[in-house]
């Protein structure tokens, strides 16, 4: 396609956004501007010629995950979520194959510009403490510097349309993995009308979209008109280290959708059991301070602000039951953490594709608060949680083994590289 065609499409896109929302239009204009700068300085080629990758060379895959650095370097104690963990497992497993060259673009945590950890090249980009203009510029520079064949993201954010636009302008492959139910059922667009349209535009221009479960796969087709491929989240599955199971566990961050307050009420309702809550701050605001203060009034509850990623399995292995109090999610990585550690699951509402019931991994309360306490007591009686936990481990081995799932991703990467 000629350069002028790209300019016209980008300009029309930004103009429509501007009519709807001035602030988000500024962001859209910045996306377009990055491409214009490249065009003005002659750094891009839109000659319509073949740009296929030499398949004898390594396939370069770059994961753009700003908050992933604390997984690679636990000394940086900032929070990260399931999307970061999901792509970390995928990337580190991919490095085992010499046919691939793997990189991560992460945020500025004070580290070196470029590092190599676990075989992954890590490039520093935006600083969360600086303005959006600086963030876009730093990210764009990192995208150009890594010069990957394929760019891969997960979790809706302003970075998704930024990378999608970069890939469109530079004729790179763009891949996206869905992170949450709200990205597929129309909720994200309703909550963020303009950024939601940018997000959907990105998905429509993606070379491949992956869903965490069949429900999200169907929702995306229905609401956005985009086909996706459901591939389960993948984890390493080491042998279970047997420990005394002596607590009820909650792990997550202080996010309103995760409703950590429900776990506090559960601990109050069953005072003869010990409860452990690992809860990182999403924002160090008054809500988090109030949560800590309230937790301090419950004698049978231990509140832990942060556990390094490389130590979290110990808590799951000690737990009789893992409790999810979230209203909605995609496929929580904490569910897989629990399953691979033979820990039973009690969920307030989240039950992707009905796997908890279908595989007898635990119980789901279907959004009924009263059932949360009842079902927990039921699972504790006669140590029923033991059987649920054993079922959960079998489920993880059958559906979430990274050594099996990675082959499907490699097939996608290889096909895209050949097309380019």
The residues that bridge with 106 in the sheet, in sequence order, are 124
Angle separating helix axes 82-94 and 333-340, nearest 10 degrees: 60
**Cα(356)–Cα(349) distance, rounded to whole angstroms?**
11
**Cα(322)–Cα(26) distance, rounded to whole angstroms?**
44
Percent of the chain scoring above 90 in pLDDT: 75
3 state DSSP class of 103:
strand
pLDDT given for residue 41 in this prediction: 39
Could you count the other beta carbons within 10 Å of the beta carbon of residue 93? 20
Higher pLDDT, 60 or 287: 60
Across 67-77, b (16+ Cβ under 10 Å) vs e yields bbbbbbbeebe
pLDDT of 199 higher than 60: yes
User: Would the CA dihedral through 8, 10, 16, 18 be positive or negative?
Assistant: negative
pLDDT tens-digit map of 368-378? 999 999 999 99
Whole-structure pTM value: 0.80
pLDDT of 31 higher than 70: no
Name the phi and psi angles at 165, rounded to 5: -65, -40
> Among 347, 263, 348, 346, which Cα is nearest to 302's?
263
Percent of the chain scoring above 70 in pLDDT: 86
pLDDT tens-digit map of 271-283? 999 999 999 887 7
pLDDT of 16 higher than 60: no
> Among 320, 317, 307, which Cα is nearest to 346's?
320
3 state DSSP class of 296:
coil
Across 167-177, b (16+ Cβ under 10 Å) vs e yields bbbbebbbbbb
Tokens of 229: 């491929």
pLDDT tens-digit map of 99-142? 999 999 999 999 999 999 999 999 999 999 999 889 999 999 99
Query: CA dist 267 to 261, 262, 276, Å?
Result: 10, 9, 9
pLDDT given for residue 45 in this prediction: 37
In this prediction, residues 52-65 reach a mean pLDDT of 80
pLDDT of 147 higher than 60: yes
pLDDT given for residue 37 in this prediction: 46
pLDDT given for residue 36 in this prediction: 44
pLDDT of 240 higher than 90: no
The alpha carbon of 413 is separated from its chain's Cα centroid by a whole number of angstroms, namely 19
**Cα(46)–Cα(331) distance, rounded to whole angstroms?**
40
Report the chain's mean pLDDT, rounded to a whole number: 87
Contacts of 259 (CB under 8 A, 6+ apart): 325, 326, 327, 348
Which of 29-33, 62-66, 297-301, 381-385 has the lowest average pLDDT? 29-33
In this prediction, residues 358-366 reach a mean pLDDT of 97
Tokens of 325: 């109090």
- Residue 182 is classified by DSSP as G
Tokens 């800590």 -> residue: 292
**Cα(17)–Cα(197) distance, rounded to whole angstroms?**
9
> Among 41, 35, 38, 45, which Cα is nearest to 14's?
35
All domains in the chain, ordered by first residue? 58-234+404-419 (3.40.50.2000), 247-399 (3.40.50.2000)
């Amino acid at each position: 396609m000629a350069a002028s065609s790209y300019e016209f499409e980008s300009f029309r896109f930004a103009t429509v956004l501007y009519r709807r929302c001035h602030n988000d239009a500024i962001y859209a204009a910045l996306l377009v501007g990055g491409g214009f700068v490249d065009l003005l300085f002659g750094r891009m080629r839109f000659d319509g010629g073949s740009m296929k990758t030499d398949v004898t060379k390594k396939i370069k895959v770059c994961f753009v995950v700003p908050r992933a650095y604390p997984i690679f370097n636990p000394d940086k104690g900032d929070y990260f979520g399931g999307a970061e963990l999901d792509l970390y497992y995928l990337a580190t497993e991919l490095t085992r194959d010499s046919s691939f060259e793997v990189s991560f673009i992460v945020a500025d945590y004070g580290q070196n510009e470029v590092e190599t950890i676990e075989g992954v090249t890590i490039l520093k980009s935006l600083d969360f403490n600086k303005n959006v203009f600086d963030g876009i510029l730093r990210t764009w520079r990192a995208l150009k510097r890594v010069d990957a064949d394929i760019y891969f993201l997960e979790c809706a954010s302003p970075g998704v349309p930024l990378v999608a636009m970069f890939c469109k302008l530079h004729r790179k492959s763009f891949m996206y993995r869905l992170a949450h139910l709200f990205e597929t059922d129309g909720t994200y667009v309703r909550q963020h009308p303009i950024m939601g349209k940018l997000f959907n535009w990105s998905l429509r221009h993606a070379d491949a979209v992956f869903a965490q479960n069949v429900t999200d796969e169907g929702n995306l087709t229905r609401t956005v008109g985009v086909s996706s491929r459901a591939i389960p989240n993948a984890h390493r599955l080491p042998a279970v280290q047997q420990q005394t199971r002596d607590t009820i566990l909650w792990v997550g961050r202080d996010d309103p959708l995760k409703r950590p307050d429900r776990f506090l009420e559960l601990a109050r309702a069953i005072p003869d059991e010990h409860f452990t809550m690992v809860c990182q701050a999403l924002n160090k605001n008054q809500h988090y301070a109030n949560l800590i203060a309230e937790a301090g009034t419950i004698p049978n509850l231990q509140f832990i602000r942060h556990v390094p990623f490389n130590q979290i399995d110990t808590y799951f292995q000690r737990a009789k039951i893992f409790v999810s109090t979230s209203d909605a999610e995609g496929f929580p990585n904490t569910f897989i953490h629990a399953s691979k550690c033979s820990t039973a699951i009690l969920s307030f509402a989240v039950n992707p594709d009905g796997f908890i019931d279908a595989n007898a991994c635990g119980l789901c309360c279907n959004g009924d608060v009263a059932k949360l306490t009842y079902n927990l007591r039921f699972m504790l009686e006669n140590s029923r949680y033991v059987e649920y936990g054993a079922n959960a481990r079998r489920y993880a081995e059958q559906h979430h083994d990274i050594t099996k799932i990675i082959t499907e991703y490699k097939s996608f990467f290889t096909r895209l590289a050949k097309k380019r």
